[in-house]
Amino acid sequence: MTLKPLVVGNWKMNHDYVEALHLTQQIGVVLKNKAREHVDIVVAPPFVDIRSVGSIIESERIPISLGAQNASMYDSGAHTGEVSVSMLKRLGVKSVIVGHSERRSIYGQTDEIVAATVQTVARNGLEVILCCGEGSEVRESGAHLEFVRGQLERALLGFDKKNHSLITLAYEPIWAIGTGETASSEQVAEMMSYLQAFLGERGMSETRVLYGGSVNGENAGALVTDGRAGGFLVGGASLKVESFMAIIEAVDDCYSRSR
């Protein structure tokens, strides 16, 4: 079975709720004029925008789903500044990005926190977009495959097998995030095969594996056809309707041709 590809827009700390509403409406208009039936689409706005973005998605019946950029590993209680998975779920969030390299490097998200968050998200029935990826030093040393395997083994430690279908992986080499230096199709293809084998060993072959790192409308097609990416996690290019839709269109084209 070929899994439908997924494109996730990670808006990071961009767009206040008014800008977020505007962008969501623009996406809705484009999709109304031309549906992209071969691709699933998620947008992950800042927490404070989620309610309004969710309302527009629902009222205008926009065929995209709502994601969050992070969530607490705790269920509730004395955790000042945190947002729980159940609160997100109540707002219509369907998936949560976990272990993004910015959370790991700037906010001290350790492998243990990543693993606990993965479990909390899945226990609440939401999908997990689990990020992994090496820095440039690891890539230059040639240890990128083992490094990513280690990250994933630690992130999935103690994960309940019955929730495997809730996992999507996002391979995001840190040196490619926000730098304009996209990984080559060969580099992506190597990692995709490695991760498919890793998932196969765990009985998780029906898991989507995305690529993230300076994806745009020009490189997206090759990263799918030659790099064999199962979709993308997109930062910068998801902030404007034209650049986000160009990626979605490229992915949709690749998959509609392959049918």
Q: Which residues does the annotation mark as catalytic? A: 100, 172
Footprint of ligand PEP (CB under 6 A): 10, 172, 177-178, 212-215, 233-237
Which residue number places its CB atom closest to ligand PEP? 235
Q: Which residue number, 157 or 222, has a Cβ lying nearer to ligand PEP?
A: 222
Q: Which residue number, 7 or 234, has a Cβ lying nearer to ligand PEP?
A: 234
Instruction: Please give the C-alpha separations between residue 57 and each of 63, 200, 216, in angstroms, as whole numbers.
Output: 7, 35, 24
Query: CB 77 → ligand PEP: shortest distance, Å?
Result: 29
| C-alpha closest to that of 21 among 50, 47, 42, 41 | 50
Sequence-ordered list of residues with C-beta below 8 angstroms from that of 178, at least 6 positions apart, any chain: 214, 235, 236
- How is residue 23 written in tokens? 């962008």
| C-alpha closest to that of 133 among 94, 92, 163, 178 | 178
Query: CB 234 → ligand PEP: shortest distance, Å?
Result: 5
- How is residue 241 written in tokens? 């309707």
Residues in the chain: 259
Give residue 177's identity as a one-letter amino acid code.
I
Query: CB 210 → ligand PEP: shortest distance, Å?
Result: 9
- How is residue 74 written in tokens? 């705790």
Query: CB 1 → ligand PEP: shortest distance, Å?
Result: 27
Q: Which residue number, 44 or 56, has a Cβ lying nearer to ligand PEP?
A: 44
